[in-house]
Structure 1
C-alpha cells in the first residue's frame, strides 16, 4: 500500500468517528431518525434473544434432562420401598406410575423450556443501541470501502503493466518482422543470376588461367643440353666457308 493511500485511509477513518458521533446526536434530536433507530434496535434485540434461547432449547438437551429426572425419580421410589416380592398387579401399577411420571416430567420440562415473552428495550436504551449500531456500521463500511478501493487500484495497476508489456512485445515483434523482410529483400537483390554463373564457369573452364599455364609449363620435361664435341680445326674451316658462300648473293 502506498504512502498516499495510507494517509488517505487514516484521514477517512479519523473523519468517520466524528460523523458517527453526529449520527448518535441526531438520533436523539430528530424524531423520524429516532423512531427508525428504536424500531431497528427492538428488532435486533428480539433476534438476539431468540438466537440465545434457541441455543438453550436444544431438543437433545431437553431429552437428556428428562431422562435424568426420570432416573432420579425411580431411584428415590426404590429407596423408599421395602424389598418384597411383587405381584403382577403391583408391577403393572409401578409401570403405569413410571409412565405417568415420565409424562409429567416431560410436560414440566417443556413448560420450563417454553420460550418466554421477550421484553422490549426501553426507549433510551433502544435509541442508544440503534445509534451505536448505525455509527459502527458506518465506520465498518468506510473501512471496507478503503480495502475494496485499494484492491481495485492494485488490480488496475497490474492490468496496465500487463497491457504495456504486451504492447512492447508487439512492437518488438513488428520490428523483428520488418527486419526479416528487409533482409530477405537484400538477399534477393544481391543474389547472382543462375545463367551468368554457368557462363562464367564455362568461360573459366575454356580459357586456362595463368596459374594453370604455369603448372603446365612446369610439368613439361625440360630439354637436355646437347654437348657439342670439339671438332678439329680442319673440319671447322670448310663449314665456315660454306656458310659464307650461302650468305653471299
Structure 2
C-alpha cells in the first residue's frame, strides 16, 4: 500500500502534460507565454518571401488604350471634314467656340483700371471758349444743328460677353471644333481609365489591415493559452497539496513517523 501511495506521489510531482500550441506560434518561445519579450512569428501562409514582381498589365493596357485614343481623335477630325452633316454641325459650333475664346481672351487682357479712367475722362464736362460758342451758334442758325448733334459718337458695348467678333472661315471653324472634340475624346478616355483604376484599387483587400487582424488573432490565442496554462497549473498545485496532506496522515508502522515530513515554517 505504501509503495502504491509513493508511486502516486511521484506521478503527481511529474510535470503536467503540455497543451497543444496554436499553429501560428513560433517553435522557440520563452517559458512564460505572456512575457514581454515573447517573439511572435508570421503566419505560415503569410511569411514574407522573395517573389517575382508581377508585370503591371493594367498600366500597360491603359497606356495602349491612351495611344489608340489618339487615332480615334484623328478619325473624328477627318470625319468632321468629310461628312456633310457633321461638317455643317462642326462649322456652326466652331463659330460658337471661337466667340467664347475671343471673349475670354479679351476679358483676360482687358485692363479694368484704364477702361474706368477713360470712361471718367469722357464724362468730364469741358468749358468752351467764346469762339467755340459763337461758331456753334452760327452753324446752328445756318443748318439747324451742330456737327456733334448731327453725328453723335457711338458708345462701345458695355459688356464684353455681348460683343460679336468677326466670324472665322468655315474650314478654320471646322478645324477648331474638330480639335476640341478630339481633345475631349482623349480626356474622356483618360478619365475613364483613372476612375476604373481607382475603383479596382479600392476593391482590393488591404494587406496591412489583414496583417493587423492576423496579429490580433495571434495575441488573443496567446492570451487564451496563457489562461489555460495558469488554470492547469492551479489544478496541479491543488492536486499536489491534497496528496501531500494524505501522505502526512499515514505513518510508517515501524518508525511511527509520517510518510511525508511536515515542512519547516
Q: Which runs of 5+ in 1 are unaligned?
A: 81-103, 212-249
Does residue 129 (structure 1) correspond to residue 182 (structure 2)? The answer is: no
In structure 2, the residue matched to 1:20 is: 73
**TM-score between both structures, scaled by the size of structure 2:** 0.50
Higher helix share: 1
How far apart, CA to CA, are the structure 2 residues paired with 1:150 and 1:125?
A: 38
Whether contact under 8 Å (1:57, 1:113) holds in the other structure is no
Cα distance per residue 1:45-89 (max 9 Å; x no partner): 222222233345554222223567899x98xx9xx9xxxxxxxxx
Q: CA deviation at 1:190?
A: 0.8
Aligned residues: 181
Corresponding residue of 1:10: 63
Equivalent of residue 49 in structure 1, options 102, 127, 130: 102
Deviations 1:85-130 (A, max 9, x none): xxxxxxxxxxxxxxxxxxx9xx96x825655432333332222211
Q: C-alpha separation between the residues in 2 aligned to 1:55 and 1:168?
A: 59
In structure 1, C-alpha distance between the alignment counterparts of 2:222 and 2:202, rounded to whole Å:
31
Asked which structure has the greater CA Rg, the reply is 1
Change (3 A) 1:112 1:127: same
The separation in 2 between residues aligned to 1:56 and 1:113, in whole angstroms, is 17
What's the RMSD between the two structures over aligned residues? 4.2
- Written as runs of structure 1 = structure 2, the 5 A alignment for 1:228-239 is none
User: 5+ residue gaps in structure 2?
Assistant: 1-53, 130-148
> Of 212, 221, 234, which residue of structure 2 is paired with 1:175?
221
1:67-106 matches, cutoff 5 A: none
Measured after TM superposition, the shift of residue 138 of structure 1 is 1.3
Matches within 5 A, 1:142-221: 142-157=189-204, 159-192=205-238, 207=257
